[in-house]
Amino acid sequence: MKLLGAILAGGRSRRFGSDKAEAMLDGRTLLAHVADALRPQCDALVLCGRTHREMASLEDRPRAGLGPLGGLCAALAYGQRAGFAAVLSAPCDSPDLPRNLHDRLSGVSGPAYVADLPVVGLWPCALAEALHSWLQANNDRSLNAWARAVSATPVEIAHQLGNINTRDDLMAFERRDIFLH
């Protein structure tokens, strides 16, 4: 299966106070941690919702300001046009993604997502137009609502993934003894 990795990074980082994708953790940006975890699991990698000098970038679809679903919609549409079967999505602020994330999510039929962090998921590119239509017609832009609408399967994984929303979250994450890949 040809797999596109998509890092969703179109948020404004209001709670963090500055660009959290560029925040440093163990000498590397949060974005670099996520890219390093996804890259070996995917055939290609894109960054959604922003531009970056070292990564292929996609604008959110159908427009900016739609939250993670705008980035996912862009990745699905790009993936479908480019011949990918599915998109493995992750936010730019979850630096401890498992190195076998794809394996964990691909064990079910159809779309799947991490139960406690639905922005991390495996989504068939065939859902591109359905998500575009959903975003055009539906005011509920939560990933949970979209996941329910397409009967995506929540998957429990061995450890709870970190999600850094504030500077306190980053400091707490820095105090962890090890990364749980």
Q: Which two tokens stand for residue 133?
A: 């239509």
Residue 16 lies in a domain: yes
Domain residues for 96?
A: 3-174
Predicted pLDDT at 13: 52
Predicted pLDDT at 114: 95
Do you know the residue count of the chain?
Answer: 181
Report the predicted TM-score, pTM, of the whole model to 2 decimal places: 0.89
Residue 86 lies in a domain: yes
166 burial level (CB within 10 Å; 0-12, 13-18, 19+): middle
Residue 65 lies in a domain: yes
Predicted pLDDT at 163: 78
- pLDDT < 50: residue spans in the chain: 177-181
Looking up residue 133, the CATH number of its domain turns out to be: 3.90.550.10
Residue 180 lies in a domain: no
Terminal alpha carbon distance of the chain: 23
Closest by CA to 102, choosing from 142, 43, 60, is 43
Q: What domain count does the chain have? A: 1
Residue 9 lies in a domain: yes
Predicted pLDDT at 178: 41
Give the model confidence (pLDDT) of 21-67 as tens digits: 777 888 888 899 999 999 999 999 999 998 888 889 999 999 988 98
Predicted pLDDT at 181: 38
Residue 91 lies in a domain: yes
Residue 181 lies in a domain: no
Residue 57 lies in a domain: yes
Predicted pLDDT at 150: 96
**CA 118 – CA 89 distance, rounded (Å):** 9
Predicted pLDDT at 179: 44
